[in-house]
Structure 1
Amino acid sequence: MTQAPHLGRVLVLAGSDSGGGAGIQADIKTITALGGYAATAITAVTVQNTLGVTGVHPIPLDIVEAQARAVLDDIGADALKTGMLGDAAMVELVSRILDSAKGIPAVIDPVMVAKGGASLLAEQAVGALRTLLIPRAALLTPNAPEAAVLTGLSVETTDDLRRAGEALLELGAQALLMKGGHIAGDRVVDLLITRHGETAFEGERIDTRHTHGTGCTLASACATGLAQGLTLTESVARAWNYVHEAMLRAPGFGAGHGPLDHGWVVRR
């Protein structure tokens, strides 16, 4: 039997989205579309659609850990990606799982608020995320509001985004993808910041309400690239272009913040 090609195995620890636009569903679609292999440890089941989140059911910690161990002990992983964690106890558990997976790069998406405004991370968990997960991040992917919460800095401009990124490097992250979508302007600028320099990813702002799951999608796309052996810059560049096109091709579903077209690259 011939050996299967290296797909790039990504273990995602995150919450599910019943509407399919964000969370675990977006993660699986993204990883698969980019040629990777997705496995999951689901941290919460949410009730949501494009109009917002109306319910959250946390998964017991022992079940989350068992899911992750089952995957790591058998299938293995080439990259890890975190999303919605919910509370400090879940953050602490995930930090222990990351420690047990030494040498596997972790992409940490510090999910705090859903697109519709619902809180997805307890206020008391922010400190745990800051001290336990940021130092374990091969790549941290905060948007401007998340960066402001994590650093205590005002993040209203691209220069603010850069300063917040430098502060997050000081907290121990190996690299930051600082997302500028919340910063006003005709163009969107995301900054990939490492201790060796900065790379900007810039494009015209897309005038659309179909932005549900953009953060989850971008982080999962980055994790897939790392799992497949791409460099960090290559991974982010491919992810950035993938999300941009997925937004342009959004199917138009729902009355609120609609989902992206995760499958566009497959159909092409």
Structure 2
Amino acid sequence: MGEAMTWLQAIVLGAVQGLTEFLPVSSSGHLRIVSGIFFGDDAGASFTAVTQLGTELAVLIFFARDIARIVVAWFRGLLHAEHRSDLDYRMGWYVIIGTIPVGVLGFLFKDQIRTGARNLWLIATMLIVFALVIAAAEYYGRKVRPLEQLNARDGIIMGSAQALALIPGVSRSGGTISAGLFLGLTREAAARYSFLLAIPAVVASGLFSLPDAFEPAGAGLNASGPQLLVATIIAFAVGYASIAWLLKFVVDHSMYWFVGYRIGLGLIVMALLATGVVSAT
């Protein structure tokens, strides 16, 4: 039986979730690292999934007009064929087809995701390995295609890349943005689609994990209902700010900034593991 989570841990981990959810640095990896190094135990996959509801609420509010426009256009297109060339109608389908890979793989491998995949050696390795993928995407991506040129093939490929984020340390936004850059999209176009694509998968994951998050017999740090609520609210507030920051940042800055950070953090975690300062499990 795990230890009870303290209020300090809930507040810190909620802030970490909000700060890292939309950056290409892996929020699940950061929650695992911070809880392991500073609090001596794992906050757990369920805590991660539930607090992600806070950051997804931030996306829903930040992109409320875009989402409403896409939903209306999608239903209009279903009823009237002449509207099916509309970008918002097509975007609705791209989000749907892009969500299928993570939904299927998340369901099939849910037990592995909650246990073995949270090993700190694996997370540190993925931080470094996927940093090289992001660097390659930044270097080789032409970055010329606007969001208006997104197509079904892009949705499938970026959706498959999003599924890689089921492994802590990879990063949902890192996977989808990198795939978008490889496909020639601009950074801003790739980031915007990445945010929209994350909504169905993360909301479904958070709701699915709610019963487990309240299970006191689980391993790791066990959060109470009020702690989960506060952590989720903090994740929402910090996450909302980080969306606005990232969308502005990617317009004028390269992804290399995140590459350097990921590699540095991965090496630090490996050093702490190798010296026995922190446990891998």
- Structure with greater proportional helix content: 2
The structure with the larger Rg is 2
Q: Which has the higher strand share?
A: 1
